[in-house]
């Protein structure tokens, strides 16, 4: 499974996949967890956005108000 860990509370890990779907996985079922060298963000995605939009989206991803 490849995705972004969005929650580690309790006995499950919540992972957002590349389509934005949240998948809950029991921690006991996880054999290996590692950081990928490759981003799940599509290549050249930011080139399609204006500078203002990319900054807003970046702030949102970090959990801050733009």
Per-residue pLDDT of the chain (66 residues; tens, 9 = 90+): 888 899 999 999 999 988 889 999 999 999 999 988 877 677 776 677 665 554 555 555 555 554
Q: How many CA atoms lie within 13 A of 45 on its CB side?
A: 9
Cα angle 59-64-66, degrees, rounded to a multiple of 5? 55
Give the model's pLDDT for residue 31.
Answer: 94
Give the model's pLDDT for residue 36.
Answer: 83
What span, in angstroms and rounded, lies between the C-alpha atoms of 17 and 20? 5
pTM attached to this predicted model: 0.56
Tokens representing residue 10 in the block: 């309790």
Give the model's pLDDT for residue 51.
Answer: 55
Tokens representing residue 35 in the block: 């950081």
């Amino acid at each position: 499974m490849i995705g972004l860990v969005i929650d580690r509370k309790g006995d499950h890990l919540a992972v957002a996949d590349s389509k934005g779907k949240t998948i809950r996985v029991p921690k006991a079922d996880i054999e290996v967890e590692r950081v990928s060298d490759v981003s799940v963000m599509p290549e050249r995605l930011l080139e399609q956005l204006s500078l203002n939009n990319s900054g807003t989206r970046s702030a949102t991803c970090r959990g801050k108000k733009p």
